[in-house]
Chains A and B, each alone.
Chain A
């Protein structure tokens, strides 16, 4: 059986859509907090298939979008320092900040190399012993264990010239911030890959403290529609809880091995999120025993800039209080080719997905 085909099959989709239409008797606002879901929802054209009473909105689930300008400033400053190679995932390249971007600096000659995994960055360090390689570590619980394993691997391989600059974040505090900031969301489509690492327990506070239901979803159309149906039923029953739709990947206890390696290497810290400001306990920084690999500690950050005034509404869009179409820059002053805000840059960003898949439909 080809799982991806089964979960994209038109017949199954039609059955779910019929069921959703039948049971959707109220107004529903469901927020997805994973960029993978944002992309899947819009690339399959799911909003147009749902009844008008169901509104799917995007939250702070795209790691590129929530990355701070000061992190980018730091990365750009590093790339200009002699003897340093900055290794980054490609989707950070075009995020604008301070009138420039990693892409523009790269074109101007800065030492920036695009990698597909931390392992490539480790290999770069092994091959370039005369250089210091700094890996830009971004992402949620999904990618943090990989970074942790990379840091441990650097130690084992004796790569004293390997560093990470961490903007790693964890998801539950941001979901709490969305809710505490005031929201009319009545259900969360919870991230599948984060949950495969953490397990389902991390979302318990949402139904318990706020009465908001959660369904951990897979990424295929059938997954997402089934999750929507499960959330509708939770709302209709007035019985919010945490359910797992993505049972083929997510176990309630998660992946203890990945969690352990993450806990071994990282400590929880406060972290700045675009759209939210500093969220207590929402970031991951290297523990003191790994600080020799911490580019944030070894290479001091440049002085803080005054933030530039902009009409960009990324912040409100990431909080779910506005949609991309509400932004005065959307589609004119901000496009994927010339982005003004981070949400337009990443393929997983809400503005990018809206612009790419639904504009003018």
Chain B
């Protein structure tokens, strides 16, 4: 079989032999045979008595490799997490690649290998995919789209609609915010940080599954990605008859991230994450849920950071470190472009 070249060429997207070589030598060995076998254009999936949940997301992060992960890692984590916060168990993923001509094959290989590892860790199978190559300058290195299917127990149906949420519920996050944004930014801009930031990108399905298996007190969940904690809190409060109160002193932010934010004029509350979830939890279940999260490697720094309140419906208020109050608005415009 001919050796595939060191860089992606237009021919790798041609649909011909070069593409077949790329698929057979790179994608299939790592992603495995399409389920349940063969290389047809579609995967045939098993039926389930559970509710199917379906999501899609595209990933355009710049640069494609960054401390703690790469575009492939977040293409898996992001989609797994979107399913997990709905209350579903992610099972199958499709992966579409739009590759810029000239991308080093070694870079693509590194990304594909980590995608396979991340999918393995998350317990999902990459069952179908697609590869397109566009001329140099018509895309930036690599864009990936992943679509995911998961299954959800009917008893979790209320979660994505916040059906049981109400004043008195507590808000829990599973750890430090802002690491992903600052890691990507530092890779992009060569920021000289004394302590490097490392992306938090990780699949949260396992941790969320443990929580859901052990508590019926989860009233709402969201992965805290673009727009950051503040924007997610605003989404939670929007047009509800309760408001959200967040307590700044309890929100975990690493010192290097805080310093980088102060230097660059960013607010950590608006920074993107790729491995953070906030949960709205029945007050009486909060300690138990917090304990489960803290016992999980992805939740060791979990903390209760606020509550739902009847005092200011529809609004998010942050109690600041010095005891003052300010409102939080959703992110206006773009704080940092192409962060995921």
Does A347 lie within 8 Å of B325, measured CB to CB?
no
The answer to whether A116 and B264 have CB atoms under 8 Å apart is yes
Report the bound CA distance from A133 to B230 in whole Å.
Answer: 37
Check B326 against A361 for contact (C-beta < 8 Å): yes
CB distance from B38 to the nearest CB of A (A): 45
* Closest Cβ–Cβ distance, residue B309 to chain A (whole Å): 14
A10 with B321: CB separation less than 8 A: yes
Interface size class of chain B, counting residues whose CB lies under 8 Å from the partner chain? 20 to 34
Chain B, 261-289, CB within 8 A of any chain A CB = 262, 264-265, 267
Query: Smallest distance from the beta carbon of A11 to chain B beta carbons, Å?
Result: 10
The reply on B16 being an interface residue by CB < 8 A is no
A7-23 to B contact mask, C-beta < 8 Å, 1/0 = 01010011000000000
A309-350, CB under 8 A of B: which get 1 and which 0? 000000000000000000000000001110000000001000
Kindly provide the distance from the CB of A309 to the nearest chain B CB, expressed in whole angstroms.
25
Cβ-based interface call for A201 (8 A): no
Min CB–CB distance B317 → chain A (angstroms) = 7
Residues of B within 8 Å of A13, CB to CB, are: 322-323
Interface residues as binary, B311-324 with A (CB distance below 8 Å gives 1, 0 otherwise): 00001011111111
Instruction: Tell whether, in the assembled complex, residue A49 and residue B333 are in contact, meaning their CB atoms are under 8 Å apart.
Output: no
Q: For residue B317, which residues in chain A have a CB less than 8 angstroms away from its CB? A: 361
A177 on the B face (CB < 8 A): no
Check if B324 sits within 8 Å of A48, measured CB to CB: yes
Give the chain B neighbours of A359 by CB distance below 8 A: 327, 329
Name the B residues within 8 Å of A48 (CB-CB).
324-325
Which of chain A's residues has its CB closest to B318's CB? A45
Chain A residues with CB under 8 Å of B267's CB are: 43
With CB as the reference atom, state the residue of chain B lying closest to A225. Answer: B322
**Docked-complex contact B326 and A347, CB < 8 angstroms:** no
Asked whether A335 lies within 8 Å of B332 as measured between CB atoms, the reply is: yes
> What are the interface flags for A25-62 relative to B under an 8 Å C-beta threshold, 1 for contact and 0 otherwise?
00000000000000000111110110000000000000
Cβ distance A224 to chain B, nearest Cβ, rounded Å: 10
A112 to chain B, nearest CB (A): 13
Let me know if B323 and A10 touch, CB within 8 A: yes
Q: Which of A116, A335, A336, A357 contacts B327 (CB 8 A)?
A: A357
Alpha-carbon distance A44/B248, docked complex (angstroms)? 10
Which chain A positions have C-beta within 8 A of B249?
Answer: 10
Assess whether B327 is in contact with A10, with CB atoms less than 8 Å apart: no
Known: A116-B189, A361-B327. A44 touches B321 (CB 8 A): yes
Is A168 on the interface with B (CB-CB < 8 A)?
no
Most interface-central of A43, A335, A355 (chain B CB within 10 A):
A43
Query: How far apart are the CA atoms of A9 and B327 in the complex, in Å?
Result: 21
Given A44-B320, A44-B326, A116-B264, list of 20 further CB < 8 A pairs?
A: A4-B262, A8-B321, A10-B249, A10-B322, A13-B322, A13-B323, A42-B326, A45-B320, A49-B322, A94-B333, A335-B332, A337-B332, A337-B333, A356-B326, A356-B327, A357-B326, A357-B327, A358-B327, A360-B315, A361-B326
Spell out A's residues near B (CB within 8 Å). Answer: 4, 8, 10, 13-14, 42-46, 48-49, 91, 94, 116, 221, 335-337, 347, 355-361
